[in-house]
Amino acid sequence: MKKHLLFLILLCYQFTIFSQEDAWVYIKDKQNVTASIANPISILTQKAIDRKSAHNVIIDERDVPVNENYISQLKGATGITVMAKSKWFNAVHVRGSETDINNLSATFSFIDYIDFANKSLNTLKLTQQKNKSKLETVFTTFIYGNAANQIEMIKGNELHLADYTGTGMTVAVIDAGFPNVNTMSSFQRLREAGNILGDYDFVNRDTDVYTNTTSSHGTWVLSTMAGYIEGGYVGTAPDASYYLFVTEDASSENPVEESYWVEAAERADSLGVNVINTSLGYTTYDNANYSYTTADMDGNTAFITKGANIAFEKGMLLVNSAGNSGNKSWGIVGAPADAAGVFSIGAVQANGTYAVFSSKGNSTQPTQKPDVVAQGEASFVIGTNDVMGTLNGTSFSSPIMAGGITCLWQALPNKTNAEIMQLVRESASQYNSPDYFLGYGIPNLQTALNTALSTTNRDDESQDLQLFPNPTKGIVHFSFPLDQDELSVIIFNIFGKQILESTITIENNQIDLSSFSKGIYIVNVQSENISKTIKLIKH
């Protein structure tokens, strides 16, 4: 009798859940658009304005928030729960019965159209929708310890040696919970530097991302970028600043999580974030009516994919795990990694060979997917108890790469998001023969930096003094700032002893270090109005 009763309870519970539908309500207009764009500080932070200006990203109507009066009216509608909002789409994600949601159009004249997550319920013009699969599987001066292989594989350690460790860059980690990040010793260095700039839980609508959670996924992900254990572990961008956003509801699979993600991306944009890492993907849902097909992974169907493409347009660089369906029936990269504007990361083993779980690309996607790969099998992460261990998943190859890319962009601040992505692709191991397993292959971030520096246009007034390649096996070149024609170069060994002094000019801008022993050197470059010290590695 008890078993029958339990079955009936579960049946009723399931019926109640599925009688509630999810939908996007698209709004016709916005409030004070012209005035807001003319005075962007009223809708964006100064950092966001500066980043957009630096990369010629236009501030437009999409940056203006959704009309809060409209949202309030929707909240007051019979049977309707407002779950999320998106200024980029001028849309509100609602939940309610099919009847109550359809009644909204008759009630409110500001509604343009309604798009049900269950496409069979749509009677108007619309798009297509939603799914997801969890992207984890089982559980320099820096001494990288256990993290050495995963950063050295992509040459992120070489960037660190040149003092590109993420300083001045801002990363948003959009994920599940971040338990104990506020207390763990592994993140003490991050906290003491003031580099956790803010956090928000879009699922529970509060700022508790550390305890109000059922998932440790975000903590593991963050550790690969920002974790630090003296002599034992260093993340790929240890000195970047971070925003921690929760959009994943670990208790269920529902397309509202796509809307939460878009909200988080919009907030990241308004805060001036440079790089977003997302180790989540969307393919199928608890309610099969909401689920996507593999044909929907076409780079412009899923709500989250369309949002990611807008985020790219806004100047941010989005790094996303490709997915863990490579050896499952689904098989291919999911949303939003299918977006052309997203840099999707597959997984390899520690020796650089394909990890069988890593989702593959296919001809449905508008661009090569995955873009590149990093170590995602037996990746070292730090658990919520400050203990290191290994986990499998593109959930970890993605942030490992995101941290490295953050350091690369620090070194090349005048490049756009698209230019950085292309530099990384071109540096990868199989750039000339990409495939659906490894994409363009394993990147060499040091090569990407050297390539950029070697082609820098001297007419760029913002150009900084740089030397390349670094590391070098012999010849090192110097890029000159616009107002300099001659520079004095003094090189010291690691003990402070001067071992070379030379004058270089625009016509003769190189020094041959072939006779130098392997090691680290300090290069001091001076002129009347320049004095810069650079670490140089000789191989």
DSSP string for residues in 218-263 = HHHHHHHHH-EETTTEE-SSTTSEEEEEE---TT---THHHHHHHH
- With b for 16 or more beta-carbon neighbours within 10 A and e for fewer, the 150-181 pattern comes to bbebbbbbbbbbbbbbbbebbbbbbbbbbbbb
CB 137 within 8 A of CB 288: no
CB 490 within 8 A of CB 478: no
Instruction: Mark whether 429 is an active-site residue.
Output: no
Instruction: Mark whether 217 is an active-site residue.
Output: yes
HEC profile of 312-336 = HHCCCEEEEECCCCCCCCCCECCEC
Pairing of strands 170-175, 241-246: parallel
Catalytic residue among 223, 325, 395, 479: 395
Query: 503, 496, 497: which is closest to 525 by C-alpha?
Result: 503
Q: What is the dihedral of CA 107, 109, 115, 119, to 10 degrees?
A: 50
Q: In the sheet where 510-512 sits, what is the strand order?
A: 466-468, 475-479, 510-512
HEC profile of 481-510 = CCCCCEEEEEEECCCCCEEEEEEEECCCCE
Q: Is the peptide bond before 238 cis (omega within 30 degrees of 0)?
A: no
Q: How far apart are CA 443 and CA 431, in angstroms?
A: 9
Largest CA distance in the chain: 92
CA 523 to chain centre: 34
Under DSSP, the state recorded for 380 is: E
Under DSSP, the state recorded for 516 is: S
Residue 374 belongs to what H/E stretch?
A: strand 372-375
Catalytic residue among 22, 63, 100, 175: 175
Structure tokens given for 1? 């009798």
In this structure, the number of other CB atoms found within 10 A of the CB of residue 42 comes to 12
3-state secondary structure of 413: coil
Q: Which residues, 6+ apart, have CB-to-CB distance to 329 below 8 Å?
A: none
User: How many degrees, rounded to 5, is the angle at CA 261 between CA 30 and CA 196?
Assistant: 105
Catalytic residue among 199, 201, 215, 217: 217
> How far lies 115's CA from each of 123, 179, 488, in Å?
9, 35, 65
Return the active site residues: 175, 217, 395
